[in-house]
Amino acid sequence: MVFTGTNKLNRNYAGVAEINSGVIALNTSWMNRYNQQKRRAVIIHELGHTFGTKDLYNYPNGALRSLFKQQTIMGGNYATSIKSFDAKLAKWTLRKTRSMSQTEFRHYRSNAGLYYQQMLNGQL
């Protein structure tokens, strides 16, 4: 797992995590604006993505989306303690995850668009 700070991310994101590459990139300008509690919350949210969990702040159902935004880390509530729902979501997602074959993995890792490749090439 690699954590990196960068000013080259889409400006709408505080951070991004690339699930299979293990790269978490934090948006430097957001991190500089945030206090320690919010920075921790962003890192925990991005770690959630490394377990395969998806963002819930854009969930299609409006009522659930609003609930997720207020009450879940993956909904972007900036919590730093992992509650039951987020833990169950991560466990559920991990059960749905399969391993890549070596061929898929090599193909994936050679993709120049990956944050992993951008980081290796000093572009992130």
Smallest distance, Å, CB 100 to Zn ion?
22
Confirm or reject binding of residue 114 to Zn ion (CB under 5 A): no
Task: Report the residue closest to Zn ion, judged by CB.
Answer: 55
> Where in 46-85 is the site for Zn ion (CB under 5 A)?
55
Q: Which amino acid is at 85?
A: F
Residue 17 or 124: which CB sits closer to Zn ion?
Answer: 17
Q: What's the DSSP call for residue 60?
A: S
**Tokens describing residue 37:** 């509690």
Angle between helices 84-95 and 36-50 (to 10 degrees): 30
Residue 97 or 106: which CB sits closer to Zn ion?
Answer: 97
Beta strands (DSSP E) in the chain are 2-6, 15-18, 23-27
* Binding footprint of Zn ion on the chain (CB under 5 A): 55
